[in-house]
Structure 1
Amino acid sequence: MMVGGLQETVTAEHLIRQVGSAAEHGLSGVWAAQAFGWDALTALTLAGTAAPGIELGTAVVPAPQRHPLVLAGQALSVQAATGNRLTLGLGAGISMMVTGMYGLPADRPAARMREYLSVLRPLLRGEAVSHQSETLTAVGQVSVPGTTPPILLAALAPAMLRLAGELADGTVTWMTGPRTLADHIVPSITRAAQAAGRPAPRVVAGLLVSVTADAAGVRDRVAEQFGLAGHVPEYRAVLDREQAAGPQNVVIAGDEAQVERQLRRLRDAGVTDVLVAPFGSQDEQDHTIEVVAALAAADHHNG
Structure 2
Amino acid sequence: MLLDASLLTAGTDDVAGTARLLEDRGYTGVWASEVAHDPFLLLHAAALATERVQVGSAIAVAFARSPMTLAYTAWDLQRTSRGRFVLGLGTQVKAHVERRFSMPWSAPAARMREYVGALRAIWATWSADDVPLRFRGEHYRHTLMTPTFTPPRHEWGAPPVHLAAVGPLMTRLAGELCDGLLAHGFTTERYLRERTLPALQEGLELSGRTREQVQVSLPGFVVAGRDDAERAAARTAVRAQIAFYGSTPAYRPVLELHGWEDLGNELNALSTSRREDKWEAMAELVDDEVLGTFAVVADPEDVAPEVLRRYEGVVDRFSVYSGAGLPPEVWDPLVRALA
Alignment match, 2:12: 12
In the alignment, does 2:270 pair up with 1:267? no
Distance in 2, matches of 1:159 and 1:12, equals: 35
After superposition, give the CA deviation of every residue in 1:20-53 in whole Å (9 maximum; x if it has no partner).
2211111111111111x22112211111111112
After superposition, the Cα gap between the structure-2 partners of 1:44 and 1:202, relative to the gap in structure 1 and judged at 3 Å, is same
Alignment match, 1:71: 70
| Structure 1: gaps (5+ residues) | 298-303
Distance in 1, matches of 2:319 and 2:327, equals: 14
Alignment match, 1:140: 144
Please tell me the root mean square deviation across aligned C-alpha atoms, in Å.
Answer: 2.4
Residue 267 of structure 1, CA deviation: 3.0
Which piece of structure 1 moves more, 138-147 or 161-170? 138-147
After superposition, the Cα gap between the structure-2 partners of 1:139 and 1:26, relative to the gap in structure 1 and judged at 3 Å, is same
After superposition, give the CA deviation of every residue in 1:252-300 in whole Å (9 maximum; x if it has no partner).
332035412331134335101112334123xx34233312211115xxx
Aligned residue among 216, 222, 235 for 1:203: 216
Q: Find the structure with the greater CA-based Rg.
A: 2
Alignment match, 2:116: 117
After superposition, the Cα gap between the structure-2 partners of 1:225 and 1:197, relative to the gap in structure 1 and judged at 3 Å, is closer
Aligned residue among 138, 143, 151 for 2:161: 151
Query: Aligned AA for 1:228?
Result: F
Query: Aligned AA for 1:71?
Result: L
Aligned residue among 222, 225, 229 for 2:238: 222
Determine if contact 1:205/1:274 at 8 Å carries over to the other structure: yes
Residue 226 of structure 1, CA deviation: 6.1
Alignment match, 1:27: 27
Determine if contact 2:222/2:238 at 8 Å carries over to the other structure: no
Query: Aligned AA for 2:21?
Result: S
Alignment match, 2:271: none
Residue 211 of structure 1, CA deviation: 3.0
Determine if contact 2:6/2:320 at 8 Å carries over to the other structure: no
Query: Aligned AA for 1:4?
Result: L
Alignment match, 2:335: 293
Query: Aligned AA for 1:174?
Result: H
Determine if contact 1:63/1:91 at 8 Å carries over to the other structure: yes
Give TM-score, length-normalised by structure 1: 0.86
| Structure 2: gaps (5+ residues) | 264-285
Query: Aligned AA for 2:27?
Result: L
Query: Aligned AA for 2:153?
Result: P
Alignment match, 1:301: none
Residue 134 of structure 1, CA deviation: 4.2
Aligned residue among 166, 174, 182 for 1:172: 182
Query: Aligned AA for 2:158?
Result: T
Distance in 1, matches of 2:197 and 2:301, equals: 25
Residue 145 of structure 1, CA deviation: 2.4
Distance in 2, matches of 1:223 and 1:173, equals: 19
Alignment match, 2:253: 237
2:8 aligned counterpart, secondary structure: coil
Distance in 2, matches of 1:158 and 1:41, equals: 28
% identity of equivalent residues: 26
Alignment match, 1:160: 170
Which piece of structure 1 moves more, 47-56 or 102-111? 102-111
Distance in 1, matches of 2:21 and 2:82, equals: 20
Query: Aligned AA for 2:181?
Result: T
